[in-house]
Structure 1
């Protein structure tokens, strides 16, 4: 495999500080670069549906919830790991686009849900297919076995970070 920009950075550190173990820098550098590249490609796909990644996340969360495709705002922001203010802004934007609506609970009018509209349901049902195709294209450089190994390693890393 040919050298990449991260290899060049690590080589420079090896010359300047030979005793420095820069291997963690290599891993995080590649992860950051991978995220930046993939976010750009995913954003291009979201734009085909006049969405940004945050709006997509809300619609996708509602869509995968099943049933009546509705959740309380609290459940949404906890699922998406964002603040209550951020979810309010996203809901407001999606409501203006007529992709979601706020509905009262039939038994307790104080309880409000966010629900996909028919237009929101149709849009996210198409967008999620295109989204997974884009994600698949980003991973085409790896074999199925490598993908499974990478998935397990990232799962292990994430678990250890969440425990800290």
Structure 2
């Protein structure tokens, strides 16, 4: 299998030996891994159930919120790191599919709550074990210890990027 990051690193070392091509290779691999995970593992599974990857993320976020499986739209888009416009289009599609419903907020007449419908709850409960198995399969190339190390290192990296 062609390691594109290694090839790019070698080319940069040849063309610009004065720069740190190793760091470019590391970031390239991280981005490629995320892209491959999304394209080859996550998106196809969601599509099997008539969902886009982003729609799966919304119903999964509502499910993990616990009973009654509802959140404010702001909580959803902040939790998923989306713009409000991107969230609105996802919610519109999910509502048309009968997987979520928008309810008036009892505390603020100007806002709504987004809640899983029984069909949405049934779907996420059906898909979630397959999703976890899919992720386990994707990470199976790493030992349990390596998976733990990767998890810790990524958490540290994300924390550093946020500060």
Structure 1 residue 135 and structure 2 residue 135: aligned? yes
With normalisation by structure 2, the TM-score equals: 0.93
Contact 2:77/2:84, CA 8 A, preserved across alignment: yes
With normalisation by structure 1, the TM-score equals: 0.92
Structure 1 residue 112 and structure 2 residue 115: aligned? no
The alpha carbon displacement at 1:108 in A equals 4.9
The alpha carbon displacement at 1:128 in A equals 1.5
The alpha carbon displacement at 1:38 in A equals 0.7
Contact 2:9/2:21, CA 8 A, preserved across alignment: yes
In structure 1, distance between residues paired with 2:116 and 2:61: 10
In structure 1, distance between residues paired with 2:18 and 2:70: 55
In structure 1, distance between residues paired with 2:122 and 2:78: 25
The alpha carbon displacement at 1:146 in A equals 0.5
Moved more, 8-17 or 44-53: 8-17
Render the CA deviation track for 1:138-161: whole Å, top value 9, x for unaligned: 111100110111111111110010
Contact 2:63/2:121, CA 8 A, preserved across alignment: yes
Residue correspondences, number:
162
Counterpart in the other structure of 1:34:
33
Q: Over aligned residues, Cα RMSD in angstroms?
A: 1.6
Structure 1 residue 23 and structure 2 residue 22: aligned? yes
Counterpart in the other structure of 2:58:
58
In structure 1, list runs of 5 or more residues that go unmatched: none
